[in-house]
Structure 1
């Protein structure tokens, strides 16, 4: 069985009135089993509403992406003075399963695979073994840095959240899906307001490592955390 849906053909910006959306969508016939829940086939019932988030080409148009105009300001957070806005592309499992909203505060974890040590200063043990100090840990000079993970930022303001692709719910399973809850099936674009210095740390981590976000219900003391390596997790003398 096939059904008709509306597919976005070009980026539709948040705040666009529903009456203008027709210019940026096309009707497409697709198998019923891949039809998104709340897929839109007629824009008339949405008149007077606006697009809540930026819509990307290729996604199905769904009614839950439209809100009343007076609610739009509640979905976008003003970037505080003195900060810059940085957007990260993250898989849902690295961003609390996609359960983040503008106005939330998060902690940021940085995780790195081994790096080449390069030009780090070399010292020697009494036995003459060359060592370098990396992140407070002495390691042999001819090795790479250890895998490392650490909490690097706290109380970071989420200013915007965009979903690349919503999950597809098969016909007849809507009630079960509603009870269980579904994470987005595509990337999330999470915008954060941070200082310029912290923006550099975020960009470096996103380029060379992995970023994880955690929802922050209250203040966390960063002094109580330390860089985690395999040796620290399993014990310093682990093989």
Structure 2
């Protein structure tokens, strides 16, 4: 009987000690939190999709106060600091906003192989054999020249120059082309003013078109030179 009572007493002491220890630890955490410096940070109020602009993010975030030791490096204090940018990945509810999660949308698009055309231009696609499109080496963001050969006797002129390439597709390898029996082609989409589009389309319909690589530029640069010539006669 004495052994049973002793065992019960030991168990009771062990439980009491565990409760005291847990209470102490929780109290220590509470005291540490109470003495911690709290920093306001922007956090996602809910899940935010990739590609959301900073302007739209403003309605999807809230301000939370967290201990300084929990603040993520490179956090965003003010959405004005990321104005004009968009999220590069999906943000999870409660996630702190950091600069690394934002980027210029045009740069993101270029990385994906697409550049947005400038306002006032129209996209026109040309499907050509690779040798007529710099061997298929063109990429979104490049600036190219469009040469048109036509007439009798044949003359070749630079119809338009410094034209922005917005996307490039196609260009199957020689082995694939041989297996399918299809001619290898590449489709290059250009950002053209209406006047330039008229000249280029007419060249595709009535003559032979060749593209030249004039400049490989920053894919984020989608400006169109207003002095670009529109006809070969202007050269």
What's the TM-score once normalised by structure 1's chain length?
0.41
User: Of the two structures, which has the highest relative contact order with CA contacts closer than 8 Å and spacing of 6 or more?
Assistant: 1
Structure whose residues are more often helix by fraction: 2
Bigger-Rg structure (1/2): 2
